[in-house]
Amino acid sequence: MKQFENVDDILDFAMNEEQLAVDFYTELAENAKTDDMRQVFTEFAEEEIKHKMRLMKIKEEGFYTLEPEVIQDLKISDFVVNVKPTTNMTYEEALILAMKKEKAAFKLYTALADRAPNAQLKDVFLGLAQEESKHKLRFEIEYDEYVLKEN
């Protein structure tokens, strides 16, 4: 696992991960079959851009605060099959992929928090994990409202 020397290293890593997410959702939007799908994935990309901007601001201002909160987990991603990204993905497949990606990011930040050498780094990782949990919940709600209700 990557070693971090300071909070700036963590924030740089997190900003890179957020940029990868922006690129991922932008590509899904560009390959979307419908205008509705394109709009949803564009909104997801914009949300990731905001997250990256927030991390940049934290790095510039030198502080990180995020009130702990309980994020509901619908666990939908635990019960859907893994999907590989393709240019012909359905909306359902794209949501599944997004849920799995956010879950993986949550697990990464949680694991990094467990290995953090000090309380400050641990708090940063836990805050990032919390943000990823919120993203996953958003996709699960979208899946519940638009996929499960249709079936």
CA distance 50 to 72: 22
**DSSP result, 21-83:** HHHHHHHHHHT-SSHHHHHHHHHHHHHHHHHHHHHHHHHHHT-------------GGGSS---
The angle at the Cα of 42, spanning 138 to 125, to the nearest 5 degrees, equals: 50
Q: Hey, what CATH topology would domain 7-148 get?
A: Ferritin (1.20.1260)
| pLDDT tens, position by position, 35-56 | 887 888 898 899 889 888 888 8
Kindly list the domain boundaries of the chain, sorted by start residue: 7-148
* Least confident piece of the model among 9-23, 27-41, 83-97, 122-136: 83-97
Q: How far is CA 67 from the centre of its chain?
A: 18
Q: At what angle do helices 7-30 and 35-61 cross, to 10 degrees?
A: 170
Q: What is the pLDDT of residue 26?
A: 93
Q: What is the pLDDT of residue 78?
A: 52
